[in-house]
Structures are given as C-alpha cells and as structure tokens.
Structure 1
Amino acid sequence: MSTSRFDPRKLGAYGENLVTQWYLDRGYCVLERNWRCRSGELDIILAKGRNVVICEVKTRSSERYGTPLEAVGPAKQRKLRRLAAQWLRDEAPFKPDSVRFDVAGVMGTKIQVVVSAL
C-alpha cells in the first residue's frame, strides 16, 4: 500500500492500525485508541496482564522531515508522561502493576517499535 498520497489524518490512522495489529499479534489487549483530553491525545493504550503500555505512533511517507522516531523529542516525551498520568488517574480500568512507554515508527509497511522508549 502506497502512503505517499494520503492526507495526514489518513496516514496517521494507517500507521496506528498497523501498530495496533502488531501488539494484538503479541497478545496485548487494546484499552483505548486515540484517547483525548484538553491537553492532547494518547495514540494507543494497551495491556498485557496488569501491565499497561502507552504507545506513541509516528507515521511518515518519506524521511524528508526525518524518521518517524525522530519526531518524539523531549517536549513530546514530557507531554506524553503528563497525559499518561491523567489517563491513569481518571480513566484506567484497573491499577496497573507497571506502565511502559513505547514509540512506534511506521514507514510504508515497515514498523519499528522501540520498547520502553521513554
């Protein structure tokens, strides 16, 4: 599937769908997708047992503006931590034993997941 002609929202949804399936294939359950609050959005929130994974997904059609993983800099990392704390406080269906932050980069059909990236 070519991703070069998609608008940004469709491209992002495409990447999130691929990454979601990647986690499902590894035994994770999806708790939320595109959880939003006034402060921002968490792309995918998953669980495996009582362990929660919050995954930020970056999808690119080319490396013109850098690789997908380069798009998650220090400011974005701080924001993700704040959003995760809010979700855990207000929305989590259980108190997790652990919380992990992953970053997934998608380019075309290639997925790179960095486990415990933050």
Structure 2
Amino acid sequence: MTADTTRPPAPHLRTGVRGEDLAARYLESRGLVVLGRNWRCPEGELDLIATDRRRLIICEVKTRSGTNFGHPAEAVTDEKANRIRRVSRRWRTAHDVGWCEERFDIISITWPPGEPPRIQHLKGAF
C-alpha cells in the first residue's frame, strides 16, 4: 500500500507551516539571520535556527488557531525543552560549530481563522 501524496496536508500541519514561515520573517525583521529550518536528526527536530551574530538562537515555534487547549507556549514541556537542547548539540556537530553561546526561545503564535496572527516571542524561555 502506498501513501496518497495528492491529498493536501491536514489543517493543523498547514497552520504549523504558516506559523513557521511567519516566525522566520519575524526574526529576520528584527535583524536575526535564519541559518536553518526544520532540521531533523534521529532525536528530533529544530524548527528554526538563527543567529544575532553573537550567539546561536534556537526557536521552537508553536502555532494554534485558538487557546481552547491552552496557550501555544504551554506545549513546550520540560521533556521537549531537554530534547531540543540535545538536538541543538547534534546540529552544532553536524554543522561543525563548536561551543558557542546559545539561547532557547519560543515563538508562540495564535492565529484564529480570518484574523491577524498574534506573535509572542519568549526569549530565553528554557
């Protein structure tokens, strides 16, 4: 049995992609350079990897259409934060980046249908 690749992605996946696109533009509008997006390894994924030319900034992006199930940033548990830290070390190794200062941020986006998105940038969130 083969997967049906003609079907459009599920709505929650489209929301996530839109949120990551918006978050990348948001970071760039604030002078950061986006080095990578959706980098994966066996341990997990990094949504956005950026730099302010002094440090590496790893951004976890959470986008929701509403807050019925809590604020988007609440989805980043301690376990998720620890996994992101481990994956960040793997990214640095894969890209031959030695020790450097790092900051771990959450970009929380609430984007109700038909409304403009609301972005909250939590710097040094974990």
- Structure 2 CA distance for aligned equivalents of residues 96 and 25 of structure 1: 27
- Structure 2 CA distance for aligned equivalents of residues 83 and 15 of structure 1: 21
Q: Which has the higher contact order (CA 8 A, sep 6+)?
A: 1
- Pairing partner for 2:31 from 27, 33, 44: 27
- Structure 2 CA distance for aligned equivalents of residues 78 and 36 of structure 1: 15
- Pairing partner for 1:104 from 107, 112, 115: 107
- Structure 1 CA distance for aligned equivalents of residues 99 and 107 of structure 2: 22
- Find runs of 4+ consecutive structure 1 residues off by over 4 angstroms: none
Q: Could you tell me the percent identity over the aligned residues?
A: 38
Deviation at 1:51, TM superposition (A): 1.3
Count of residue pairs brought into register by the alignment: 112
Consecutive unaligned residues of structure 2, counting only runs of 5 or more, are 1-9, 112-116
Taking only aligned residues, the RMSD between alpha carbons, in angstroms, comes to 1.4
| Residue 105 of structure 2 corresponds to residue 116 of structure 1 | no
| Residue 45 of structure 2 corresponds to residue 37 of structure 1 | no
TM-score with structure 2 length normalisation? Answer: 0.83
**Which amino acid is the alignment partner of residue 82 of structure 2?**
R
SS at match of 1:33: strand
TM-score with structure 1 length normalisation? Answer: 0.88
